[in-house]
Amino acid sequence: MSDPRPTIRLDKWLWQARFFKSRSLAAGVVSAGKVRVDATPVSKPARAVGPGDVLTFVQAQETKVVRILACGDRRGPAPEAQLLYEDLSPVVERRSYNPGGDRKGRPTKKDRRDMMTHRAADDPFALE
């Protein structure tokens, strides 16, 4: 007779694997029906999961697809948590930050000085 497969609560595993900061946040995401286990939507945080199950969920505007490798005993440091799963997420090309050209963010100090000189030149009531 073989040993039963080790299992753990879904919300607890998501918390131990450090996908969510608290177990209640993990439970909220599962309760909202935003987690799939082996392509089946799940809405109960107490759903038992174990090694071999594939989870799909959204975290920080990215779709995560992970295969559970181990249940884990505790919520340890990040390197320990990364041993609990295999990341199967599709690689998404991120926009690279391009300092300088084509800026649309905050103006630099030089940009602000240039704006002030242009404003002063256009304002007939500006004090000199």
Question: Where does 3-127 show beta strands of DSSP type E?
Answer: 8-9, 35-37, 40-42, 48-49, 54-59, 62-68, 85-87
CA–CA gap between residue 110 and residue 116 (Å, rounded): 10
pLDDT in tens, 3-14: 788 999 999 999
Global model pTM greater than 0.85 = no
Domain count, the chain: 1
| Cα 84 versus chain centre, distance | 17
The CATH number linked to 55 is 3.10.290.10
pLDDT at 49 over 60: yes
What average pLDDT does this structure show over 98-127? 73
Does a structural domain hold residue 96?
no
